[in-house]
Amino acid sequence: MGFRESLEEVCGVEGAVAASVMGFDGIAVDTVMPAKTDVDLEALLVEYAGILGQVKQAAEVLQTGKVSELSIGTDRITTLLRPINPEYFLLLAMRPEGNFGKGRYLLRVTAPKLQNEF
């Protein structure tokens, strides 16, 4: 299964507005945006790539092991991020009323599958 199919599967969760495979450098490999939102998703992807990079650096400093996931909730959008490998991560953005638990589960099962695509 390729990136596109996996991203579409992740977007099966209620409230999904975007899913992306991205590099820690902020450059997206592939993105699907199944629903309209007035949030600037392209800017969000780049900002959050930077934050996930900082979380990764903090984990190295603190010696807490690898980062498994990051979630950021704001009034207008909830975003879940999960590293695929040291260079790339999977991201799911959803409306705040979306199904957080299901989104978290979908990233958990999908990220390992994507490791084979790199």
Query: What string of DSSP letters covers 3-61?
Result: HHHHHHHHTTSTTEEEEEEEETTS-EEEEE--S--SS-HHHHHHHHHHHHHHHHHHHHH
| Residues touching its own copies, count (CB under 8 A) | 30
CB 20 within 8 A of CB 90: yes
Is residue 62 within the footprint of its own copies (CB under 8 A)?
Answer: yes
Is residue 86 within the footprint of its own copies (CB under 8 A)?
Answer: no
Is residue 61 within the footprint of its own copies (CB under 8 A)?
Answer: yes
Is residue 55 within the footprint of its own copies (CB under 8 A)?
Answer: yes
Is residue 14 within the footprint of its own copies (CB under 8 A)?
Answer: no
Cα–Cα distance, 36 to 65 (Å, whole number): 37
Is residue 69 within the footprint of its own copies (CB under 8 A)?
Answer: yes
Stretch that binds its own copies, among 14-22, 23-31, 66-74, 109-117 (CB under 8 A): 66-74
Instruction: Say whether 1 sits in a helix, a strand or coil.
Output: coil
Toward its own copies, which CB reaches closer, 8 or 102?
102
Closest CA to 44 of 74, 14, 65, 68: 74
- Interface with its own copies in residues 29-48 (CB under 8 A): 39-40, 43-44, 47-48
Closest distance to its own copies from the beta carbon of 2 (Å): 27
